[in-house]
Amino acid sequence: MVTAVSVLAGMQASPATAARPLSLFDFFGGGRPRPHRTIHAPKIPLPRPRPAEAPAAKTGKLSAEKPAEGEKPAAEPSPPPAPKPSACRLALTEEIAIAPSIPDIQGPGGCGGSDLVRLDAIVLPDKHRVAVTPPATLRCPTATAIADWVRTDVAPLADKLGSEISGLDNYDSYDCRSFNGIAGAHLSEHGRADALDVHGFKLADGRSIVLTDRDVSRDFRESVLHSVCTRFMTVLGPDSDWYHEEHIHLDLMGRHNNYKICEWDVLDPLPKIAPLMPAARPEEAPPRAVAGKEDGNKGDAAKPQAAEPAAKAAAPPAVPTPKSLKQARRRGR
């Protein structure tokens, strides 16, 4: 204890120690720690400049991980294989129609479909093309049915008109909408790419054949009617409803027991001039003056007989007398 006090006294008396704060090293000896010597980092030599005759360095990004020596780099994953074409797609060749495949459509509310094609033209047996204007987006079976109908039935009918068919007027094909565009109705076959609305045909001589035109040959329109009703499940035209007065709707909608709907009235032409006056009087008819005189005589003879009841009915009622009033009062009691 005496030693510690003496040490403290000595430290207080030292002027060097009074100028700095005390630390544990002052009590237990050793003084303040000596500073370490500065450590100098070794100089790293830089690479020499690239020789001018050296090949140019590649600027492409190197892969983060280099394969080990003798190890082959990992192959990139291959894309999924494309779906195999359907039997319909294989059968619908360019000898029948120009109809390239298009991607499947997945629309809202069940719209769209798979195995779709864009029907650009139909190739007739003589290699002549019938352009579809505008091109129709259809399922492959529907496009095949349209192409076969034009090739087999419509082309011979057009030949009877004295020309060759050169175009099909597409009124509507794929359209994501309800039946007749009515809100809340079920999905139309147009929304499934299963329907085509045909407005008419174009002939090579420049004529246009509108299927709903009354002035077009009735035989031609009736022949088309029988043809489409045989091939398609639904046929709607004039007089089916007012939505189909200007085109013919065709689709392949399946129903129970293969039930078909064929509603298309082939209407007669309207008269050029409406009849305003009655037809001329036949020569064998009696003269108008004689007929009028005879009718007048008959009327005069019948007048006395018909006038009596009329006169009685028009006579004023009799004025009641005081005697008759008294009798009426008695009956009322």
Give pTM, 2 decimals.
0.60
Query: Given this model, what pLDDT does residue 1 score?
Result: 45
Query: Given this model, what pLDDT does residue 68 score?
Result: 60
Query: Given this model, what pLDDT does residue 13 score?
Result: 46
Q: Are strands 101-102 and 261-263 parallel, antiparallel or unpaired?
A: unpaired
Query: Given this model, what pLDDT does residue 307 score?
Result: 45
Indicate if the pLDDT at residue 182 is higher than 90.
Answer: no
What average pLDDT does the segment 51-69 reach? 64
Query: How many whole angstroms from its chain centre is CA 314?
Result: 76
Percent of the chain with pLDDT over 90: 50
**CA-CA distances (angstroms) from residue 80 to 77, 83, 84, 168, 332?**
9, 9, 12, 38, 112
Indicate if the pLDDT at residue 306 is higher than 50.
Answer: no
pLDDT digits (tens, 9 = 90+) for 146-156: 999 999 999 99
Cα separation, 143 vs 112, whole angstroms: 15
Indicate if the pLDDT at residue 33 is higher than 70.
Answer: no
Name residue 165's beta-bridge partners. 203
Annotate 149-196 with DSSP letters as a single string: HIIIIIHHHHHHTTS-EEEEEEEE-----BGGG-TTPPBPGGGGT-EE
Any idea how long the chain is?
Answer: 333
Cα separation, 60 vs 83, whole angstroms: 36
Cα separation, 331 vs 333, whole angstroms: 5
Q: By mean pLDDT, which of 19-33, 145-159, 273-287 is the weakest?
A: 19-33
Cα separation, 232 vs 243, whole angstroms: 19
Tokens of 249: 């709707």
Q: By mean pLDDT, which of 32-41, 44-53, 57-66, 242-251 is the weakest?
A: 57-66
Domain ranges of the chain: 87-263
Query: Given this model, what pLDDT does residue 310 score?
Result: 46
Query: Given this model, what pLDDT does residue 324 score?
Result: 47
Question: Confidence class of residue 95 from pLDDT cuts 50, 70 and 90?
Answer: very high
- How far the first Cα of the chain sits from its last, in Å, is 160
